[in-house]
Amino acid sequence: MLPSTQAGLVFNIQKYSLHDGPGIRTTVFFKGCPLNCLWCHNPEGISPQRAIVLLESRCLACGECRSACPLPAASEDCGFLPLRLADCTLCGGCVDACPSGGRQMLGATRSVAEVMAEVLKDRVFYEDSGGGVTVSGGEPLRQPQFLLALLAACRREGLHTVLDTTGFGHTRHLLAAAAMADLVLYDLKVLDDARHRQLTGVSNKTILANLHHLDREHRNIWIRMPLVPGCNADLRNLQQLAGFVRDLRHVTLVNLLPFHRTGIDKFARLGMTHALDGVQAPSAELMATAVSIFHDAGLEVRIGG
């Protein structure tokens, strides 16, 4: 039995989540992802390290963050401190000193016991709605021991469990985690490998191979596909993916996830540039076409999570 003292890096525990599996759920977001998708809506989960985010609308320009910073460079200017000075150790002093909450630390080391204490507060909502706990990211497979220990703890409590994964990880970690998950949400973006590299920074060979392994072992898989105009929402890619998924035995649902712009502000707060700043959400016509393609392949389809 994996210990409840097993710890991992988490950047959010989202209560009352309605888009990460059935019913009302608590979604635990692991930090760190090997992919760098151009459309990422959780950029705070990409880095495997903690990070400081700045909410400029809350900043009072009071200088308390500079006063709290132990680095000499902090006192060389006025106003709010940059997100990270060159020698920043992420001590968190500036975050603690901010009186308005304008500076926040993303990522905290949490034990399984600590996460479960939060999760179990909402047990009544899970029982009434058929919900439970979803482990997401980032990519949960980046922290396999923490992932397995958390899923095991949920199972001991009789909670419905969902694993939300990109599929980019060791096959043995994926299958071990899936064995403790009632449902696996599996991301697919692009079938062509070269194009997948351009859009996500990694090959999709491991992802596709792992999905075949998973399909042989698990009986309840939902495919989640983001639809991003100009990236992967073209007719050829949709038809290729529908044909690939059609040949799997245990896919019970396909979720088509229309691109949205809520992640763009997150990039700015992290001091990052969003590569798709001018891209808009897919049209109703495009979504209808995508639904039709997957339906024609004999697949159950739903727009949204």
Q: Which helix (H) or strand (E) holds 26?
A: strand 25-30
Average pLDDT over every residue of 147-162: 98
Average pLDDT over every residue of 159-178: 98
Cis peptide before 138 (omega within 30 of 0): yes
Q: Alpha-carbon distance 173 to 181, whole Å?
A: 12
Question: Would you kindly state where each structural domain of the chain is located, as residue ranges?
Answer: 7-48+107-303, 53-106
25 forms beta bridges with 17, 132
Q: Which residues contact 263 (CB under 8 A, 6 or more apart)?
A: 39, 40, 41, 42, 43, 274
Percentage of the chain beyond pLDDT 70 is 99
What is the rounded average pLDDT for all residues in the chain? 94
Whether the pLDDT of residue 170 is over 70: the answer is: yes
Least confident of 145-159, 226-240, 251-265: 251-265
Q: How many CA atoms lie within 13 A of 267 on its CB side?
A: 16
Structure tokens of 130?
Answer: 């058929």
> pLDDT tens for residues 192-205?
999 999 999 999 99
Q: List Cα–Cα distances, 179 to 87, 133, 221, 247, in angstroms.
A: 43, 15, 12, 22
Q: Alpha-carbon distance 246 to 144, whole Å?
A: 29
Q: What pLDDT does 84 receive?
A: 78
251 and 215 Cβ atoms separated by less than 8 Å: yes
Whether the pLDDT of residue 275 is over 90: the answer is: no
Average pLDDT over every residue of 147-171: 98
Query: Could you tell me the pLDDT band of residue 1, with boundaries at 50, 70 and 90?
Result: low
> pLDDT tens for residues 82-113?
877 888 999 999 999 999 999 999 999 999 99
> pLDDT tens for residues 282-298?
999 999 999 999 999 99
Count of beta carbons in the 10 Å neighbourhood of residue 215? 18
Structure tokens of 16?
Answer: 């009352």
Q: What pLDDT does 268 receive?
A: 79
Average pLDDT over every residue of 14-34: 97
Whether the pLDDT of residue 78 is over 90: the answer is: no
Average pLDDT over every residue of 114-135: 97
Whether the pLDDT of residue 75 is over 90: the answer is: no
* pTM (predicted TM-score): 0.92
Whether the pLDDT of residue 7 is over 60: the answer is: yes
224 forms beta bridges with 187, 255
What are the strands, taking DSSP E only, across 155-271? 160-165, 183-187, 221-227, 251-258
Q: What pLDDT does 2 receive?
A: 62
Query: Could you tell me the pLDDT band of residue 56, with boundaries at 50, 70 and 90?
Result: confident
Question: Which residue carries 């304008």 as its tokens?
Answer: 102
Average pLDDT over every residue of 185-194: 98
Q: Any long-range contacts for 161-164 (C-beta under 8 Å, 24+ apart)?
A: 161/132, 161/133, 161/134, 161/135, 162/20, 162/21, 162/25, 162/132, 162/133, 162/134, 162/135, 163/134, 163/135, 164/20, 164/21, 164/27, 164/134, 164/135, 164/136, 164/137, 164/140, 164/224
Q: Which helix (H) or strand (E) holds 11?
A: strand 7-17
Average pLDDT over every residue of 49-73: 90
Q: How many CA atoms lie within 13 A of 283 on its CB side?
A: 5
Strand order in the sheet with 132-136: 108-111, 7-17, 25-30, 132-136, 160-165, 183-187, 221-227, 251-258, 301-303
Computed from CA positions of residues 244, 246, 247, 248, in that sequence, does the dihedral angle turn out positive or negative?
positive
Q: What pLDDT does 55 receive?
A: 86
Average pLDDT over every residue of 158-187: 98
Residue from 45, 25, 49 nearest 36 by CA: 45
CATH architecture of the region 7-48+107-303? Alpha-Beta Barrel (3.20)
CATH architecture of the region 53-106? 2-Layer Sandwich (3.30)
Query: Could you tell me the pLDDT band of residue 130, with boundaries at 50, 70 and 90?
Result: very high
